Amino acid sequence: MASATSVNPLRAPLRRLIAAWTQVRLLEPAPEALGLDPDLTTLYVLPRSSLSDSLLLDVLARQQGLPDATLPRHLGDHTLPAQLSLPTTRRHLWQRRRGPRSPFRAVIEAHRDTGRDIQLVPVSIFWGRAPGKRFGLWQLLAADSWRLTGRLRRLLAVMVNGRDLEVHFGAPLRLAELDDGREPSLTDRKAARLLRVHFRRMRSRVLGPDLSHRRTLIEGVARSEPVRRAIEEQAGHSPRQRARLTQRARRYGREIASSMSYPVLRFLDGVLGRLWNRLYDGVDARGLEDVKPLAGECTLVYVPCHRSHIDYLLLSYVLYAQGLMPPHIAAGRNLDMPLIGPLLRRGGAFFMRRSFRGKALYSAVFKEYLHRLLNRGHPLEYFIEGGRSRSGRMLPPRPGMLAMTLDSFLRSQREGGQPLVFVPVYIGYERILEEASYQRELAGGGKRKESPLALLRVVRRLREPHGRVAVNIGEPLALDDFLDRTRPGWRDDSLDAAPPEWRRTAVTELGETLARRINAAASLNPVNLVALGLLATPHHAIEASLLERHLALLASLGREHAFALPPGEPADWIAQTRALGMLEHSPHALGDLVTAEPAQATLLGWYRNNVLHLYALIGLTAFAFRHQPCHTLDDLERLLAPSWPVLVREFAIAPPASLREALADTLERLAEQGLLEDDGDRWRRTSSLTGEEQLRMLGRLMQPPLERGYLLLSVLLGEAPGHFTRDALTERTRQLAERLGRLTGRDSPEFFDARLFASLVQNLEAEGWLRTRDGRLYYGSRLREGALRGQTLFDPALRHRLQRIARHAQA
């Protein structure tokens, strides 16, 4: 019987050559995780008959302690090869068919004659797909792709990409579970079909769907029904206008469409590998094991937080390095600049204009292009925040791309498309490249246009330290499960007319859910921990020993909610932040001091906001003890209930099922840390000076958002309902916050960022505290009562200062 291990006198020397020449960069899963039964006969299955793959499998089996891949297996009177390969489905007339047409027939007969079970292990091998240190013309030509590989090209792959290998073992397939007693030929075809599906899914996971010709894709978009309908609506009965608009649709398609290329992906992998090694001390990728099983079966849509231009390059690199196909990335048209734009386009970027308003044809072309990407199973990536966060916190989700994705999914389900899964991604930096531009923009400076010259200015900073970066995968969200849970009966809605009525609210809920899952994947690092501690001091100065104790407290309290904690001790975290130039360390005879200059404090505020949501309820609870030494659980719940839902929306955190239970748990945790004492039916502030200071510092974490809310409500309630529009209320409150910041020495641009107040107004509307009519904001007694209850959180001195500032606005 022909097989992948047919007798060959040259096999032993060739195997030694392969062992010496090749190096596996990625092997998944680990051999011990395969779950092989040592008492069963093991046969390996390759997707095609290939001497190089067979020899490499021989070598790997010996190196990894797996069952031998060379020696035949003896079952009774049957002798089976250690390796099998699926039959080729296509061949040229002049080529002899390689391998048997029924590769599993003899295996099935041996199983039936002996009654012994056999486990089949599928093995996928990719030459030149995994990242390596070298890249060049020959490596690019020889890398694996969807194209069929001939002998000459395979030889070239072994020669130039032998040290860039990726090997994936599939879950063992038990023949006893597969054999249903039918004709051996039928069982043979069933096994071949199952394994062929497995190999196709693995190839799709690693290489992505087959990349069709860009020109063909654009032509298909231009001739699609939705685009033709948009053309006819604008052209009317004019053939000349119809032809002109068709040409314009093709031009839009060329402007939008990516031109992803495997050689360019490999080139970018080499370039980015060198960039990360120079720029960062390391990239920590966590949670991808939950994504890999989905990659071959679902359309994946990655939705990262957007903190830096590096985000999309970093995520693509991590996915490529981990054996997943990099996604097509929605990028702003401003990045389609000379030199940079063509390279990004070939790396998977497709470009979109900031606004589709008044551009019906452009909108139709873009939506159709997006639908074709998703319907073909290409992984996709876009930022639901719309733009980069200049404040460091998660911005409210924008509905545009989410709505188009939902529409495409509903359309594809009607056409029998595959499931779609959103993959939330949190990216956390210890230092970002854009810190100077963010500070300038928060201070009122205009946003500079991206250009190649701006890129050259960034290149000069590559020699500066930037610490480590974390890429954390949040909990994936299957879109059909989300709709089943929130919109039962969605499958029965007709999609022939306008989008369903529930789409708008569903998109809003989808964006909020994804934002919460992104934030839930946040991890703590030395910089954001130091920022949380140092910025909670009145003058951004603290004794080094007290800061170390407080950092240990923050790490302990954040352990339950953070995705990961930094290694080392608090003293190491302070030293790391100092090495990045974000604080000053001053030796002193009575104890060393840690301080931050105004510019450093502003910068630290950005990193604090990355993870501030992890401490929202802890900080709010601690703030309640600011001027009241004790509370019962009932009093605390009544006091915090009005503020909590608004903070939940502001910080994009998943609300607990019960605020009362969450408060009880928080009080217990603060008591365990020695900051509160259980005094029977009430909780009391600790009598320890150190504990009281730490409790006060925790409370200051939530003081800025609470002060902003107090100012906004004071301004709003100072006038009759309907007096303010959204923009007027936002601008008036922003001016007051800026005045308060300057009077209190807290001249932080982030404190009076207009976008925070605009978001606060939206959150109050979403919670039903405000309603809009004819562009004006109206409120009722519920808002007045909530504001009166919430103001008791503030001590009299702070309340008087805020009221004085608010009265100044009405004067």
- What pLDDT is recorded for position 502? 87
- What pLDDT is recorded for position 211? 56
Q: How many Å apart are CA 229 and CA 455, to the nearest integer?
A: 41
What percentage of the chain reaches a pLDDT higher than 90?
A: 39
pLDDT digits (tens, 9 = 90+) for 73-103: 998 889 999 999 988 655 444 444 444 568 8
- What pLDDT is recorded for position 594? 93
- Within a domain: 502: no
Domain with 44, as residue range(s), is 11-207
- What pLDDT is recorded for position 407? 92
- What pLDDT is recorded for position 455? 60
Question: What average pLDDT does range 167-178 have in this prediction?
Answer: 90
Q: What angle do CA 210, 215, 219 make, to 5 degrees?
A: 105
Q: Is the pLDDT confidence value at 7 over 60?
A: no
- What pLDDT is recorded for position 608? 94
More confident residue, 298 or 800: 298
- What pLDDT is recorded for position 602? 87
- What pLDDT is recorded for position 146? 40
Q: Which two tokens stand for residue 69?
A: 């891949």
Tell me what the pLDDT averaged over the chain comes to: 84
- Within a domain: 78: yes
pLDDT digits (tens, 9 = 90+) for 669-721: 999 999 999 988 899 999 888 889 999 999 999 988 888 888 888 888 888 99
Identify whether residues 266 and 367 lie together within a single domain.
yes
- What pLDDT is recorded for position 342? 85
Question: What average pLDDT does range 279-284 have in this prediction?
Answer: 88
Identify whether residues 683 and 601 lie together within a single domain.
yes
- Within a domain: 232: no
pLDDT confidence of 497, banded at 50, 70, 90?
A: low
Q: Which two tokens stand for residue 277?
A: 């090694």
- What pLDDT is recorded for position 181? 81
Continuous segment of H or E residues that includes residue 679: strand 676-679
Rounded to a whole number of angstroms, the distance between the first and last alpha carbons of the chain is: 96
Q: What count of other Cβ atoms lies within 10 Å of the Cβ of residue 140?
A: 19
pLDDT confidence of 203, banded at 50, 70, 90?
A: confident
Q: Is the pLDDT confidence value at 218 over 70?
A: yes
Helices (H), 434-474: 435-442, 452-459
Helix, strand or coil, per DSSP, at residue 43: strand
Which of 128-137, 437-446, 504-513 bottoms out in mean pLDDT, i.e. has the lowest?
Answer: 128-137
- Within a domain: 166: yes
- Within a domain: 231: no
Q: How many Å apart are CA 595 and CA 593, to the nearest integer?
A: 6
**CB-based contact 452:338 (threshold 8 Å):** yes
- Within a domain: 521: no
- What pLDDT is recorded for position 5? 46
Closest CA to 652 of 473, 505, 512, 759: 512
- What pLDDT is recorded for position 578? 94
Which pTM value belongs to this model?
Answer: 0.81
Q: How many Å apart are CA 685 and CA 667, to the nearest integer?
A: 11
Identify whether residues 536 and 669 lie together within a single domain.
yes
Q: Is the pLDDT confidence value at 459 over 80?
A: no
**CB-based contact 625:410 (threshold 8 Å):** no
Question: What average pLDDT does range 188-202 have in this prediction?
Answer: 87
- What pLDDT is recorded for position 160? 61
- What pLDDT is recorded for position 797? 72
What residue has token string 């879109």?
A: 479
pLDDT digits (tens, 9 = 90+) for 597-612: 988 888 999 999 999 9
What residue has token string 């194209």?
A: 147
End position of a domain, from candidates 168, 187, 207: 207
Q: Which two tokens stand for residue 111?
A: 């199983």
- Within a domain: 355: yes
Q: Which two tokens stand for residue 792?
A: 């008791």
- What pLDDT is recorded for position 745? 63
- What pLDDT is recorded for position 444? 62
Identify whether residues 313 and 331 lie together within a single domain.
yes
pLDDT confidence of 162, banded at 50, 70, 90?
A: low
Q: What is the CATH number for 289?
A: 3.40.1130
Question: What average pLDDT does range 624-639 have in this prediction?
Answer: 90
Question: What average pLDDT does range 626-636 have in this prediction?
Answer: 90
Q: Which two tokens stand for residue 117?
A: 């079970």
Number of domains in the chain: 4
pLDDT digits (tens, 9 = 90+) for 322-360: 888 889 999 888 888 887 888 888 888 899 998 888 899
Identify whether residues 284 and 423 lie together within a single domain.
yes
Q: Which two tokens stand for residue 732?
A: 């008036």
Continuous segment of H or E residues that includes residue 693: helix 689-700
Q: How many Å apart are CA 738 and CA 752, to the nearest integer?
A: 5
Q: Is the pLDDT confidence value at 418 over 50?
A: yes
- What pLDDT is recorded for position 235? 86
Q: Which residues contact 219 (CB under 8 A, 6 or more apart)?
A: 250, 253
Distances (CA, A) of 331 to 365, 384, 386, 607, 621: 16, 12, 10, 24, 41
pLDDT confidence of 131, banded at 50, 70, 90?
A: very low
Q: How many Å apart are CA 726 and CA 706, to the nearest integer?
A: 19
Q: In this structure, which long-range contacts are made by residues 719-724, counting pairs with CB atoms below 8 Å and at least 24 apart in sequence? A: 719/810, 721/777, 721/778, 721/779, 721/780, 722/773, 722/776, 722/777, 722/778, 723/776, 723/777, 724/776, 724/777
**CB-based contact 143:263 (threshold 8 Å):** yes
- Within a domain: 198: yes
- What pLDDT is recorded for position 136? 42
Identify whether residues 635 and 719 lie together within a single domain.
no
Identify whether residues 696 and 720 lie together within a single domain.
no
End position of a domain, from candidates 207, 227, 244: 207
Identify whether residues 752 and 691 lie together within a single domain.
no
Helix, strand or coil, per DSSP, at residue 344: helix
Identify whether residues 530 and 679 lie together within a single domain.
yes
Q: How many Å apart are CA 288 and CA 205, to the nearest integer?
A: 13
Identify whether residues 80 and 101 lie together within a single domain.
yes
- What pLDDT is recorded for position 494? 58
- What pLDDT is recorded for position 489? 82
End position of a domain, from candidates 654, 676, 700: 700
pLDDT confidence of 768, banded at 50, 70, 90?
A: confident
Identify whether residues 304 and 345 lie together within a single domain.
yes
Identify whether residues 433 and 483 lie together within a single domain.
yes
- What pLDDT is recorded for position 154? 61
Q: Which two tokens stand for residue 543?
A: 């004794």
